[in-house]
């Protein structure tokens, strides 16, 4: 973000402020290794309002990815990352069971991706889901 009101999020200022105020309330801890016992990327667990979400990240800007559990808290984490990093060109939905570290499915944001994936979630879908995680 380049200033206190700068944001890549196409939402009204009030909702953006609610998302931003939720960020510091998220408690973080290291995630246990994935099912195979090896840590593939930076992996942490986000905790807010009795909900937890696994968050994995890899790469460095401008080519970086963040993958989260596909629930409201995971969506909130991605919304905050988009607010911080800028619009994401690619959001990808991962089906339940496609990745053993995310047994209930995942959403992955990819910065530096060449083109948007088709059939995946939209930024509006992500924002709508993230609203359910707000305190």
**Structural domain spans, the chain:** 13-31+41-133
Distance between CA atoms of residues 115 and 94, nearest Å? 17
Q: What is the pLDDT of residues 47-104, one digit of tens each?
A: 999 999 999 999 888 889 999 999 999 999 999 999 999 888 889 999 998 988 899 9
Q: How confident is the model at residue 4, as a pLDDT?
A: 45
Residue 54, pLDDT score: 96
**pTM, whole model, 2 decimals?**
0.87
Which of 117, 60, 93, 80 is CA-nearest to residue 1? 80
Would you say 76 and 19 are in contact if contact means Cβ atoms under 8 Å apart? yes
């Amino acid at each position: 973000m380049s200033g206190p009101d700068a944001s890549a999020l196409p939402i009204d200022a009030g909702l953006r402020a609610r998302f931003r105020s939720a960020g510091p309330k998220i408690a973080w801890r290291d995630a246990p290794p994935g099912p195979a016992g090896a840590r593939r990327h930076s992996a942490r667990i986000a905790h807010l309002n009795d909900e937890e979400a696994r968050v994995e990240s890899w790469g460095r800007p401008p080519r970086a990815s963040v993958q989260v559990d596909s629930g409201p808290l995971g969506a909130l984490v991605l919304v905050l990352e988009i607010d911080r990093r800028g619009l994401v060109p690619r959001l990808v939905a991962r089906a339940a069971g496609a990745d053993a570290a995310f047994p209930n499915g995942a959403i992955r944001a990819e910065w530096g991706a060449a083109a948007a994936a088709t059939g995946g979630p939209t930024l509006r879908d992500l924002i709508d889901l993230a609203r359910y995680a707000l305190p």
